[in-house]
Structure 1
């Protein structure tokens, strides 16, 4: 997978896995990662799927309708890539926190839904429920931050609340932060994510 890796200054800090939104690339969330954890190494990945020329992490059939088979395939692809990257860049595979926005948050959520111990934690900005009707792995010890917009037309509040419920039911510790905006990632939301990260990981 096309990616960048920037080595951090604190070997004990979690490695941040950065996952962009639709049409983004591996450069997009680097400033966000630096805000959330300035000392962390950053592994920022570009999605392998193109939708009208725009990179994504998995295909969709329509707005808000995921291609579930492709989602499962791409989730495994990302999971395997993380294993390989940990060996290549010599970081602790068990000390990875995902930071995703929109489509990137959905693939991060899918990692949590499909693979036990795939992530130590996750910052999910405007995520949806990646897949319904499956048994989630044990997520005890996993911390999740969800950033949501009360007026988000793509990810309405009930979607956020359902995701929060499913993650908590599987044992995750979840904090949801609401903004009175739409699908955009605001500076206050990013700053709240940074404060949450510092609370749990430093």
Structure 2
């Protein structure tokens, strides 16, 4: 029965992809105490990439997982970049608006409350941008290996939204000061930020799952 229900979710999602603007996967939740998760993959991932992480981090939560619409050498991303670590900020603004619109449409289509974003790398960056540009779209965020997506974002009021940032001490892509600047930026905007630096590089690991799961567990209704 569980497998059949999950397949029904996927079929429904494919039919709704054009209307909602993103190819995506949706899995209905079984635990109403858990907020839904918006899963945002890294460069080269797709809508299936973070589903196992979402299921493990928040068992029973509804999962909404879009595929980034920007292609870089055939690899999906959520916005354009000009070079490694150099973002096309006009595209960041545009794509964050598209993502916020997708979230609003998906909430209406699937009967969801505001989701908590769980993003990795490029997905964490677009989640941070969405928080700053469209705070109404998200209830909070787990940002794994994020960078500052916008050098000078407009003033935002995040109203105490909780944010967990998980950085890597040996990350060759994200300088430590950049991650710290993002944490400070979100705090100034009114978010309640917890920033943890792990003894790892840029990739996902068991420690990320353990910390994300404990953080999400503490935020059950």
Q: TM-score, normalised by structure 1?
A: 0.96
State the SS of the aligned residue for 1:99: strand
Structure 1 residue 188, shift from structure 2 partner:
1.1
Listed as ranges, the gaps of 5+ residues in structure 2 are 1-21
Task: Please give the per-residue CA displacement for 1:26-56, whole angstroms capped at 9, x wherever unaligned.
Answer: 1111111111111110000100010000000
Specify every segment of 5 or more residues in structure 1 that has no aligned partner in the other structure, as ranges: none
Residue 121 (structure 1) aligns with? 140
Q: 1:132 aligns with which of 143, 151, 164?
A: 151
Provide the rounded CA distance (Å) in 1 between the counterparts of 2:153 and 2:111. 33
- Select 1:9's aligned residue among 27, 30, 43: 30
Residue 7 of structure 2 is matched in structure 1 by: none
Q: Is contact 2:104–2:137 with CA below 8 Å preserved after alignment?
A: no
Give, in whole Å, the separation in 1 of the partners of 2:31 and 2:219.
16
Runs (4+) of structure 1 moved beyond 3 Å?
none
Rg larger for: 2
RMSD: 1.1
More helix by share: 2
Contact 1:177 1:189 in 2 (8 A): no
* Matches of 2:117 and 2:135, distance apart in 1: 14
Aligned residues: 200
Q: How does 1:4-43 map to 2 (within 5 A)?
A: 4-43=25-64
Q: 1 CA distance for matches of 2:108 and 2:159?
A: 26
